[in-house]
Structure 1
Amino acid sequence: MNYMNTALLNCIGLSYGELSLKGKNRGQFEKILRSTINKTLDGYEFKLNEDLSKLYIDIKNEDMDKITEKLKKIFGIIGLNQSIKIERDDTIIKEKILEVANYAYEYGARNFKVAVNRSNKGFEKKSMDYAKELGAHILINSPFEKVKMKDPDILINVEIRKSVYIYTEKIKTYGGLPIGSTGKGLVLLSGGIDSPVASFMMAKRGMRINFVTFHSFPFTSRKALEKIKELTEILSIYTGKSRLYIINILKIQEEINSKTRKEFATILTRRAMMKLAEKLSHNMQYQALITGESLGQVASQTLGGLTCTNASVEKVPVLRPLIGMDKTEIIEMAKEIGTYEKSIEPHEDSCVIFAPKHPATNPKLEDIIFEEKKIENYNEILEEVFNEREFFNIE
């Protein structure tokens, strides 16, 4: 239980985690992080401050919870401390820590611990000594009768920098790297559970991502496209502004269905999608394609199927962040990031429109290429399909 008097809070401290390991490049990562914070908190009254290599945000108390929720979804931050910011003065520190202790006791805490982190070595008292001094001050001047070093009811943290920050709770966030710090990627987004989770994972690694989805209208409905748009809107909470490209692949699917062996239809369709996505990446300067494929999950995601799909892409890497995850793990993450309920809504998927009853589970690349060559003017059809694409910007 958090026994902090939230009415006293006026500041949030940010912990970087992985960013602190970036050495000479840390400044660039921090610059991107600051920019993201400024965009995310647009409309709120706040001030970003760096205090001895740690970033703090001064805010109004009434905005504390709303701003905390927004900051929790910014990649590059590993933890948050809702804090009381005060002057570096012994009298003020003791007054405020006693106020925190009295409030905690009133609401049920019966033991405590004080931890001091003295980042400012100009402060004359050492961390351990000052923690003991503050603990004694609480014992003498409050109803508390017991200090507990392990698992106390309330742990009162005191960070001494240029200013002093008092907090009792460390809020864990997603960590990762700031959006835009590791390049641009294009996600092949379906309406299922997997690809939104893959999107989240690559965004967490600092990649700015946009999306492409494929449909087979009129065999797939406009409602299915609306579902995809709604998924991108949920993901935009984490990714920021993005773009969704929409490509109707019915023409190439009809050619595949009428001119190639039925058991290869899914793989051939996936290859067409990948070729179109690669072409889009080249035009828009995306540096990687991202899919939600997981090894062995469906027939097209066996090693043979993935090999055939990979071979359709020549100039950009294909990233599969879910490749070693099982379905249960993916579902749990989808629930965590808020995409699961939308993903399980019924929808028509282009990949299953002409899907065979018995798809090949271990296709050979030479067989797939042989079947693909049966389609006359294959590249011209892809070009026509590509040129009819649409897009929507997601704020």
Structure 2
Amino acid sequence: MTAGQLPRWVDYGLMPALNVAAAFLVSGLVVLLIGENPVEAVKVLVWGSLGWNEGIGFTLFYATNFIFTGLAVAIAFHAGLFNIGGEGQAYLGGLGVALACLALDRYVPWWVTLPVAVLGAAAFGAAWAFIPALLQAKRGSHVVITTIMFNFIAASMMVYLLVNLLSKRGSMQPETRTFESGGRLPLLQDVLPGTDFGSAPVNLSFLLALAACLLVWIVVWRTRLGYEIRTFGANPVAAVYAGISPLRITVVTMLMSGGLAGMMAINEIMGSQHRLLIEFVAGYGFVGIAVALMGRAHPIGIVFAAILFGMLYQGGAELAFEMPTITRDMIVVIQGLVILFAGALEHMFRPVLLRIFGVLAARPAPAA
């Protein structure tokens, strides 16, 4: 361990755990101030998300969305890019999924529709990330500004499409028709024998999200492209000196990031809603930023961080039901504190840990 560097297990394990513990400690103080027992609140939250089959199913369902959006943000991080356009890219990914399902659901089974839907989601999400990437690489327009602007453009465009072009004939609802069986993913309990998640909509896309984690790990850490991405993110000047094209890396990385964000729509559109509708993204793209930060932009860390936020979503709903004084707004506050400590304050404990482990590393070994 060199100066200023922590052991990997501390950087990727202990520090995120301390951040989460600090967030829950502050949340406990807030719960205490409104007159409730924070220990009981934690028990209800954990039981509601992991204590029964249906709760586990909903936790995994939410975690699936966070895995895709977290991977999208993480792969951009490795290139030194900050893609906060996951909302818009997921929106366009939903359009790709819906078009595939609407075209094929009446003629082929779901396992034929799925590869087309995956390609549609990835292609539409990547296409929506292409213009911000090109503006960053060619004109120097910061990708943070362009991607967040494209979120609003995507939302407005989807409203127009669903109201004027894609809505059901004779319906006033801004949504497409419901997909037939050929456009619906099977539930996870129907695919994995011996599992029972009740009425939870967790479906085959959870396994697809895990496969995406493996693919991202291979690309980033086991390919030449991944080495170039990490080199460019660590030192752009040295990367250019080594012959790495900033234009190519920026565009390719953002295309992969947008494609992963777009694939989030598979879980919502093809796996749960079975139709394209407004606001199905529901903030998952922004939470993916916190998931990537907490998971240290590593697929394994992202899976655990996604499950944590899935627990907060599902357990928070149970907590608001069991303890009415803790409203849904309070649950949003708790989620915001976790995001705060995992994001803006993620290195709050680093100086203390550096001193502790610096002392341990400098301590001479005992004589034989």
TM bin, normalised by shorter chain, reads under 0.3
TM-score by length of structure 1 reads 0.20
Task: Say which structure is richer in helix.
Answer: 2
Greater CA radius of gyration, 1 or 2?
1
